Structure 1
Amino acid sequence: MNFLQRHTKWIGPMALGVAVLVALAWPSDEPARPTAPPAAANPFPFVRSLAGTTPDADVKVDAADALVVDAALGRLFDYYLSAQGEKSLPAIRAEIEAELGRLLKPSAAAEARRLLGRYLDYKQALAGAEIAMQKSASPAHAARARLTAMQQLRSQFFSATESAGLFGFDDAYNADAVAKMEISQDEHLSAAQKTAQLAALDAALPAPLREARDAPQQVIKLEESVAQLRANGGTDDDVYRLRAAKLTPEAAARFSDLDKEEATWKQRIDQFLSARNNLLAQPAVSEAERQAALQQLREARFTPAELPRLVAYER
């Protein structure tokens, strides 16, 4: 699973912070996936896209064994919901409920399942609200309106305590991103005033939010260093040591796995394009027969979930 991608069809609140930075674009691209590894190498076989990963299972109970409603619970829900497209929603819900039963005592698990039902209802309502929302010429205004609408919609499904637990961190993250957009797009402010106000926002940002905001850029800079290291003749071991020093050994190992997956994907693409070019070069074939053969070639080499990604490579 790519560290910079949250490949979920159910877009959660944290996506707003990313969306406002790219003009409210909703990320929906799916990471490249190589051929399925041997069963023994896949510790989590729920769906192929989650192979080699595990859910965030840090759900908690208090001293009285009552469920603690916090961001970890929402991340557990979203982890399984990212399988939309590979599994049906009823199958995903059943898997989440089974996981809750494994992690929690019966009373807390029952409360978590009830909360899951409201979470799914909220996500569905959020999708409808997004469609109905009026367009705005100002990206900052649109982002503020969407954040406000999201927060208002939650009151129909969650108590104030539940909303704060599930979405409080994301709301603070998104509010900071929207505030920065509003400052940057305010035509009544001079460049110096914008700089001062942005600096004030940064100074007031709690450390956990600052770390979450800066994490993607830190990874980007690290991978630029990796590319430079490879260009200078660095080995895989050199790359691992660099990443481990900047991150953790576990994260460095996962990045190494991603490198291998990307290399495998590129090899599969190269082999496909070679076979495709050979097919296109064959004479005396009708266009209908050619297109049918191309489709058979695609389906023989890629899964249904991978097929849409071939368009960019075939152009």
Structure 2
Amino acid sequence: MKHHLTLLASVGLLAAAGFWGLQQMPASAHGEARPAADTPSQAARTDRPTTPLPSRPVTLALANTSLAGTTVPADLVMDGEGQLVVNSGTRAILEYFLSLSGELTDEQIRHLIRQWAEENASPRAASDLLALLGRYNDYRQRFASGDFAASTASDITDKLNQRRQLREELFGADAAALFADEDRYDNFSLQRHAILTGDMSNAEKEQAMQTLHASQPAHLADQYRQQQALQRLQDTERSIKETGGSSTDRFAYHQQTFGDEAALRLQSLARERQQWQQRYQDYATQRDQILTSGLAGNDQQQQLEQLRARLFAETEQRRVAALDRLEEPTGE
């Protein structure tokens, strides 16, 4: 039994180590979730126009994006001179706008951030926020390299320390404010790992875990609970289906576990995913007919572009093109 608890602790800690990184990636709960295949669309970004968005209220500029109908999740904090005061909300704001990566160019996203900050704070705070954006993009790129992800339970502490050193290197005194919640979560995970892998009886471990949970802020404890539920989500949904459960049963489970708003969002995402898969399959059938038609390469490409323009919105066309490239033979 003790060996089983140790194994669970290792698996749980490794998942927790990646949790915050996954939470901060561009797919955002504020907008439409993107399929995993969106990632290769990075290769298509050089084809996008670099013209800044027209000057208009940010809410209107977002109307044709996946953030339509949403609101920026926090307000900027300023000192008496209008200078930006960095906190965890600042990071949430950056992540909100960066979730548009793949839909808008980097230049357009910067334009939106500046416009929003000037409308809601001050020109100086806007300038400070854009300077922070440059360092934050550097952090995201370096973090996404995988160099800071633990591969085994034994190197988790070293990797967390390396991540903190990277933040301090890039953000200096602002690092603690930007990553306060993440640091608390990491410390919680390390303490949990120490308890579950320590030399205590099961009863002692259970008591220690109760004490640890009770010592955490309510939002952190709830965040951990939801993380655990998300890790089990796919298996739970499969179990519901295999036992004859309906979509209503799945919705009831989502509602009980994640709350009303998240349950509605999961339901909507499932419907959107199914519709997208059907639309892409219909497109793929017509695409294959073009590719096997015997037309010259340029004519094929022209017809493919016309087909995408007819069946998909502009942002979807980039996604489709990326999916098509994934299906091309590599020549290996």
For 2:179, what is the secondary structure of its paired residue? helix
Q: 1:308 aligns with which of 319, 322, 329?
A: 322
RMSD: 5.0
Greater shift in the superposed pair: 127-136 or 296-305: 127-136
Following the alignment from structure 1 to structure 2, what is the Cα–Cα distance between the partners of residues 151 and 195?
38
Shift of 1:56: 0.7
1:8 aligned partner: none
Shift of 1:168: 0.9
**Retained in 1: the 8 A contact 2:63–2:69?**
no
Against the structure 1 CA distance between its residues 77 and 21, is the aligned structure 2 distance closer, same or farther, given a 3 Å change threshold?
A: closer
Shift of 1:93: 2.2
Task: Give 1:1-315 correspondences, 5 Å limit.
Answer: 20-21=17-18, 31-32=34-35, 45=62, 48-59=65-76, 69-104=86-121, 106=122, 110-111=124-125, 113-124=127-138, 127=141, 139-140=155-156, 143-154=159-170, 157-159=171-173, 162-177=174-189, 200=208, 203-204=211-212, 206=216, 207-221=218-232, 225-226=236-237, 228-229=239-240, 232=244, 234-235=246-247, 239-279=250-290, 282=292, 285=294, 292=301, 296=305, 299-300=308-309, 301=311, 302-310=316-324
**Retained in 2: the 8 A contact 1:83–1:92?**
yes
Following the alignment from structure 1 to structure 2, what is the Cα–Cα distance between the partners of residues 135 and 261?
31
Following the alignment from structure 1 to structure 2, what is the Cα–Cα distance between the partners of residues 258 and 233?
19
Query: How high is the TM-score relative to the length of structure 2?
Result: 0.59
Against the structure 1 CA distance between its residues 279 and 101, is the aligned structure 2 distance closer, same or farther, given a 3 Å change threshold?
A: closer
Kindly provide the CA deviation profile for residues 159-185 of structure 1, in whole angstroms up to 9, marking residues without a partner as x.
3xx43332111122234446667899x
Following the alignment from structure 1 to structure 2, what is the Cα–Cα distance between the partners of residues 296 and 65?
48
**Retained in 2: the 8 A contact 1:44–1:50?**
no
Shift of 1:267: 0.8
For 1:305, what is the secondary structure of its paired residue? helix
Partner letter of residue 100 of structure 1? A
Partner letter of residue 144 of structure 1? L
Shift of 1:76: 0.8
Against the structure 1 CA distance between its residues 228 and 56, is the aligned structure 2 distance closer, same or farther, given a 3 Å change threshold?
A: same
Higher relative CO (Cα under 8 Å, sequence separation at least 6) belongs to 2
Against the structure 1 CA distance between its residues 122 and 112, is the aligned structure 2 distance closer, same or farther, given a 3 Å change threshold?
A: same
Against the structure 1 CA distance between its residues 71 and 98, is the aligned structure 2 distance closer, same or farther, given a 3 Å change threshold?
A: same
Kindly provide the CA deviation profile for residues 51-83 of structure 1, in whole angstroms up to 9, marking residues without a partner as x.
454321354579999966421221011111222
Against the structure 1 CA distance between its residues 175 and 51, is the aligned structure 2 distance closer, same or farther, given a 3 Å change threshold?
A: same
Following the alignment from structure 1 to structure 2, what is the Cα–Cα distance between the partners of residues 311 and 277?
13
How many pairs does the alignment contain?
Answer: 277
Greater shift in the superposed pair: 118-127 or 74-83: 118-127
Shift of 1:306: 3.8
Against the structure 1 CA distance between its residues 180 and 195, is the aligned structure 2 distance closer, same or farther, given a 3 Å change threshold?
A: farther
Shift of 1:215: 1.4
Kindly provide the CA deviation profile for residues 169-207 of structure 1, in whole angstroms up to 9, marking residues without a partner as x.
1122234446667899x9xx77x6999789857743514
**Retained in 2: the 8 A contact 1:126–1:153?**
no
Which is richer in helix?
2
**Retained in 1: the 8 A contact 2:97–2:109?**
yes
**Retained in 2: the 8 A contact 1:32–1:265?**
no
Following the alignment from structure 1 to structure 2, what is the Cα–Cα distance between the partners of residues 79 and 124?
17
**Retained in 1: the 8 A contact 2:255–2:263?**
yes
**Retained in 2: the 8 A contact 1:135–1:142?**
no
**Retained in 2: the 8 A contact 1:118–1:158?**
no
Runs (5+) with no aligned partner, structure 1: 1-15, 34-41
Q: Percent identity?
A: 19
**Retained in 2: the 8 A contact 1:55–1:76?**
yes
